[in-house]
């Protein structure tokens, strides 16, 4: 029996303006964030971070999902670049050093898997249109016209944007950098999630970060 295409198993209806529209009528926004090396902090700093994070979570009046996505880094493009630089290097001593560095990287990748990590916060919004039909709608009465439906959608997008801004402000208050994922970045993320062997890491662009 033939299996259904992967696209049919993904509950995504559309991705537009950095928003994921689910088939059930709900919306999702993704916020990429950095990490803090908690173990290197002093006890007082650790306590302060825990308190700030606790305060941030307590301030939310909606649920969020924090996801950690790990991927093995493919260093072959980097090694190819080094090989090219070695060929172009006129200094014999530098060529030897580059070659030794290439060997070091190759041995390192053989001994251990070098992983990249993406930290994502999923910000949800349930559509008011998700509620069941009332008796008026069942008889074809009281249905919203196209303009009203569009206005309702725009109101939901504004509400989702406010939630995203609130989450980003809370994370930045802890000392993290944040960036909202755009359409192409969200598509890239889903591709990697459903193609486990795909290497790579999402990076927060400098023009999107806030200190």
Q: For the segment 32-41, what is each residue's pLDDT rounded down to a tens digit?
A: 998 888 889 9
The DSSP secondary-structure symbol of 165 reads H
Q: Is 26 or 74 the better-scoring residue by pLDDT?
A: 26
Q: If you average pLDDT over residues 67-84, what whole number do you get?
A: 85
In tens, the pLDDT along 172-196 reads 999 999 999 999 999 888 887 777 6
Running DSSP on this structure, what letter comes out for residue 112?
A: S
Given this model, what pLDDT does residue 82 score?
A: 92
Query: 144 versus 165: which is more confidently predicted?
Result: 165
The values of phi and psi at residue 70, to 5°, are -105, 140
Q: Where are the domains of the chain?
A: 6-73+114-208, 74-113
CA distances from 73 to 117, 171, 205 (A): 10, 26, 19
As a whole number of angstroms, the distance between CA 57 and CA 173 comes to 12
Q: If 0-12 CB within 10 Å is exposed, 13-18 middle and 19+ buried, where does residue 163 land?
A: buried
- Under the banding of pLDDT at 50, 70 and 90, the label for residue 4 is low
CA distance 204 to 30: 12
Percent of the chain with pLDDT over 90: 45
Among the listed residues 183, 188, 187, 210, the one whose alpha carbon sits nearest the alpha carbon of residue 198: 188
Decide if 85 contacts 98 (C-beta within 8 A).
yes
């Amino acid at each position: 029996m033939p299996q259904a295409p992967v696209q049919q198993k993904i509950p995504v209806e559309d991705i537009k303006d950095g928003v994921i529209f689910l088939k059930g009528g709900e919306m999702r926004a993704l916020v990429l964030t950095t990490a803090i090396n908690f173990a290197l902090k002093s006890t007082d700093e650790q306590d302060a971070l825990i308190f700030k994070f606790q305060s941030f979570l307590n301030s939310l009046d909606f649920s969020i999902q924090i996801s950690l996505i790990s991927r093995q880094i493919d260093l072959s493009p980097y090694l190819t670049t080094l090989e090219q630089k070695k060929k172009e290097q006129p200094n014999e001593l530098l060529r030897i050093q580059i070659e030794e560095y290439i060997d070091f990287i190759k041995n390192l990748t053989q001994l251990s898997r070098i992983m990249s990590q993406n930290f994502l916060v999923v910000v949800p919004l349930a559509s008011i249109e998700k509620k069941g039909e009332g008796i008026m709608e069942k008889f074809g009465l009281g249905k919203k016209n196209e303009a009203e439906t569009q206005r309702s959608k725009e109101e939901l997008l504004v509400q989702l944007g406010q939630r995203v801004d609130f989450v980003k402000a809370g994370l930045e208050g802890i000392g993290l950098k944040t960036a909202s994922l755009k359409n192409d970045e969200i598509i890239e993320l889903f591709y990697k999630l459903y193609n486990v062997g795909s290497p790579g890491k999402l990076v927060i662009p400098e023009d999107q970060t806030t200190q």
